[in-house]
Chain A
């Protein structure tokens, strides 16, 4: 089954933290460092990702 992440289209080129089910974005930031800082107060299990810019296809 394909995973869906609610509202992901609004987070181009951002670092994001997903909730435990990996279905919703609960924090976002421009840098990994800032994301970790924002997450210091949460005890929830989170999953981190860096989203690339969404414009066009991606070939790393």
Chain B
């Protein structure tokens, strides 16, 4: 079975005065956007098993040439019941290291800045997704 590999990337956690409390490692995968024959530079997406759908910053959509606000508007609720407006677009082509790619739906929002890869449109594109926290890798079987 072909497998894509994600990795845990390091992030500092500080107190409000900027003092380092710890380093945490969060599961990501590198991918490119495929627009016709053109590929963007690789970018990291957070593999977020708690997210219902893919959710990307609107500024990425705009750089891809997408008229973000023409997407179907939705509401996404996050931590602390914070709600944001999102605009859903389909046919977004994601290309991974191995050459594996698929078209998917992405909700874009002007109110977030992190790329979240969620259940519908990412996890459901794979047969099995295995998080190996100790080994700091994620295996995505397709």
Contact = CB atoms under 8 A, between A and B. Distances in A.
B106 interface: no
A18 B10 CA distance: 13
A52 B13 CA distance: 10
Contacts of A1: 136
Contacts of A36: 41, 63
Given A2-B25, A46-B41, A48-B42, A54 B59 contact: no
Given A58-B26, A60-B116, A49 B51 contact: no
Contact of B79 (A5, A48, A50, A59): A59
Given A33-B63, A39-B41, A47-B30, A52 B113 contact: yes
Given A1-B136, A58-B26, A60-B79, A48 B12 contact: no
What band does the interface of chain A fall in when counting residues whose beta carbon is under 8 Å from B?
20 to 34
Interface in B54-87: 57, 59-60, 62-63, 78-79
A57 B13 contact: yes
Interface stretch (B14-22, B88-96, B122-130): B14-22
A33 B14 CA distance: 27
A46 to B, nearest CB: 6
Contacts of A33: 59, 62-63
B24 interface: yes
Q: Return the 5 tightest CB-CB contacts between A and B, nearest first.
A: A48-B43, A49-B44, A59-B79, A9-B12, A54-B12
